[in-house]
Structure 1
Amino acid sequence: MLDKETFEAIEAYVLGNMPGPDRERFEERLRHDPALHAEVEQQTEHIRAVELGGLQRALKDIGRQQAASTPGRSWMPYLKVAAAVAVVLCAALWYLDRPTTGERLYAAYFRPDPGLPVAMSATSDHAFQDAMVAYKLEDYAEALAKWNTLLRDRPQNDTLRYYTAMAALGAGDISTATPLLDAVVQERNSPFAGKAAWYRFLAYTHQGDTARANTIHFDPADPHAAEATVIQQSW
C-alpha cells in the first residue's frame, strides 16, 4: 500500500504540479524503481478516468438544467452544452490515443547520443562534420539527410550507420533507425556496438516488440544494464 507522501508525489507528478527539481528527482527514481513506475501508470489511468467521469456528469447536469429552464430565453445553455461536449470528446480522444506502455518507457529512458566533437580545424570530411553540427543543433532531419547521402557511398561504415540511426531516432523515425542499429551491433569490434545495442533495445521497446528486445542481453557492467532490467519489469 502506498504511503501518503508517495501518493501525493505521484498525484503531483501526474497532474503536472510538481516543481522542476522535484520532477527531475522523481523521474530518476522512476528509471530505477519498476514498482513505482507501475504505480504511476496505474494512478495516471485512475486520475484520467475520474476526470472523464466528472466531465460526463457535468454534461448530464447541464442537460438537466436546460430541460428545466424556460425555452427560447438564451443561447447560453446551448453554448455550455457545446463546450462540455467538446471537453468530453477531447478527454475521450486522449484516453483512446494515449501512448502505449512501450512508447511511454521509450520516452522516459531515451536520451540522445551527444555526438562527436566537431573539429575546429580543417578536416577532410567536411560533409560529415556539417551533418554533426546539424545533429548537435537538434536539426535531426538535416543531419539525417546529409548522413544518408554519405551512407549510400559508404554503406559499411559503422560510424555513419550509427549516427544516421541516431539522427533517425532524434527525428522520431524508429523504423529507419532499427536496421542500422542491427548492423552496427553485428560489428562486434565497433566502438559503437555497445551503445547501438542499448538504442536498439529502446527502439524495440517503442515498437512493442518485447520478444526481440528480450534477445538483447547486457553485461552487468554495462551502464544501461540496470535500466534495461527496469524496463523489462515494466512491460
Structure 2
Amino acid sequence: MSQGVLDRSTFEAIETYVLDRMSALDRAAFEQRMAGDAALCAEVELEKENIRAVELGGVTRMLKEIAAEGTVSDTNMAQGGWKQYLKYAAIVALVLSGSLWLLRPSANERLFAEHFIADPGLPVAMSGTSDPAFADAMVSYKEGDYERARANWSLLLQQEPMNDTLRYYIGSAWLADGEALAAIPLFEVLAADPGSAFRAKARWFLLLAYVRAGESAKAKAVELDTDPTYGGPARAIKAQLYR
C-alpha cells in the first residue's frame, strides 16, 4: 500500500472496521491483512482519530441544534420528541459515512504537517532593529497572533520594501497561519536572491509552501538538496512526492 494513497474501497473497509460493522469473518481477514501491511495499520489509526474528531464535531453540532430548538419536555417527548433525537442521530451517522472521505487530508497536506515547524522568530532583544513596531510585531508572532504580526510588519514593509527580514517574517506568519499561497511570493523573492541572509531558510519554507499548496512540481524544483541544514529533509520530501 503506497503511503498517502488510499482508494475509496480501502477507506470504506477501514471505516467499517473501525466502526465495528464488519462480520466476524471479514474482520478476521482484514486483521490478517493489517498484520502484513504497516502502512494499512497506520491508515487505520489515522481514520480512528478522524472518526473520533468527526463524531465529536457532529455530536456537538447536534446538541447545539437541539438547544436552539428548545428543551424537549416530557409531554413533547410523548408526542414524538424522540423523533428529533433520532433525526439528529441519523444526520450524524450520514456525516460519518460521507464527510470523512471528503475531509480526509490530502497526501500533500499530510507531508506538510509532518515536516512543518514554524520559524520560532527572533528574541526581541536580538531583532536587529530598535524599532518598537518591529519588536511588538515579533512578540505577536511568537505568541501565535500571526494576523497582528503581519499587519504591523506590512506597514513597515511599505516604508522599507527591500527589507529581507520583514519579507521573511511576513511570509513565515502567513505560512504558520495556514496561508501557503500568500507566503509563496515572499519566499520566492528571497529564495532567488543569492545575497539574502534568509535564502536557505526561505527556500526550505518555499518548498513546504509549495507542498501545502499542492504545487508538487515546483516543490521538486526547489534547489535545496545539498544544503547542510535542509538538504536531508528536502530530499525526503521530494522522495515522497515522486511516489
The TM-score with structure 1 as length reference comes to 0.65
Aligned counterparts of 2:234 and 2:205: Cα–Cα separation in 1: 11
Structural mapping, 1:34-45, within 5 Å: 39=40, 42-43=43-44
Partner residue in 2 for 1:179: 185
1:83-115 Cα offsets, whole Å, 9 max, x none, are 442222222123212221111211221101011
Q: Are 2:225 and 2:232, in contact at CA under 8 Å, matched by a contact in 1?
A: no
1:85 correspondence with 2:85: no
Partner residue in 2 for 1:213: 219
> 1:116 Cα shift?
1.1
Partner residue in 2 for 1:196: 202
- For 1:89, the aligned partner's letter is L
Unaligned runs of 5+ in 2: 2-13, 19-36, 53-77
> 1:44 Cα shift?
5.5
Q: Are 2:50 and 2:100, in contact at CA under 8 Å, matched by a contact in 1?
A: no
- Partner secondary structure for residue 223 of structure 1: coil
Structural mapping, 1:88-167, within 5 Å: 88-91=93-96, 92-119=98-125, 124-167=130-173
Question: How many positions carry a matched residue from both structures?
Answer: 182
> 1:190 Cα shift?
1.5
Measured at CA, do residues 181 and 86 of structure 1 come closer, stay the same or move farther in structure 2, by a change above 3 Å?
Answer: same
Identity of aligned residues (%): 38
1:69-94 Cα offsets, whole Å, 9 max, x none, are xxxx9848745642442222222123
1:138-194 Cα offsets, whole Å, 9 max, x none, are 111100101111111211111110011011112222111100000011111212110
Aligned equivalent of 2:237, options 228, 231, 235: 231
Unaligned runs of 5+ in 1: 2-10, 16-34, 52-72
1:189-211 Cα offsets, whole Å, 9 max, x none, are 21211011010000000111111
Q: Extract structure 1 runs of 4+ deviating beyond 3 A.
A: 38-51, 73-81
- Partner secondary structure for residue 214 of structure 1: helix
- Partner secondary structure for residue 124 of structure 2: coil
- Partner secondary structure for residue 194 of structure 2: coil
Looking at both structures, which has the greater relative contact order when contacts are Cα pairs under 8 Å and sequence separation is at least 6? 1
Q: Are 2:171 and 2:186, in contact at CA under 8 Å, matched by a contact in 1?
A: yes
Aligned counterparts of 2:116 and 2:126: Cα–Cα separation in 1: 29
- For 2:195, the aligned partner's letter is N
> 1:47 Cα shift?
6.0
